[in-house]
Amino acid sequence: MKEGSSGGGAAAGGNDPRQPSTAKPYAPPKLSPQDLPIDYAGFLAVVFGVVGVMLRYKVCSWIAIIFCAQSLANMKNFENDLKQLSMAFM
């Protein structure tokens, strides 16, 4: 074993190779609304809602409400998703 080294790694003294002055905080990349992934829960809410209304299936209507709530919980862009969600409720 080397002399003066302990099992603590970075706590071994002045041998830490990291440079805190060059560390930068993480900034997520900016995406346009067209580049965002598809909201499958919102799409399924619309599909099940239409099927529930057209064929009068209560189960499809309840599933549409559940998917709509899931889409509301997973909103990324509040303004655009709120417009889509309001259309799904209609």
pLDDT confidence tier of residue 47, bands split at 50, 70 and 90: very high
- Report how many domains make up the chain: 1
Q: In the chain, what is the greatest distance between 2 CA atoms, to the nearest angstrom? A: 80
pLDDT confidence tier of residue 24, bands split at 50, 70 and 90: confident
Tell whether 84 is covered by a domain: yes
Q: Is the separation of the CB atoms in 68 and 87 below 8 Å?
A: no
Predicted pLDDT of residue 7: 52
For the chain, give percent helix, strand, coil, nearest 5: 60, 0, 40
φ and ψ at 66, to 5 degrees? Answer: -65, -45
Tell whether 23 is covered by a domain: no
User: Which range of residues forms the domain containing residue 75?
Assistant: 40-89
Tell whether 61 is covered by a domain: yes
Predicted pLDDT of residue 39: 78
Q: What is the pTM of this model?
A: 0.53
DSSP assignment letter at 10: G
Tell whether 85 is covered by a domain: yes
To the nearest whole percent, how much of the chain has pLDDT over 90?
22
DSSP assignment letter at 76: S
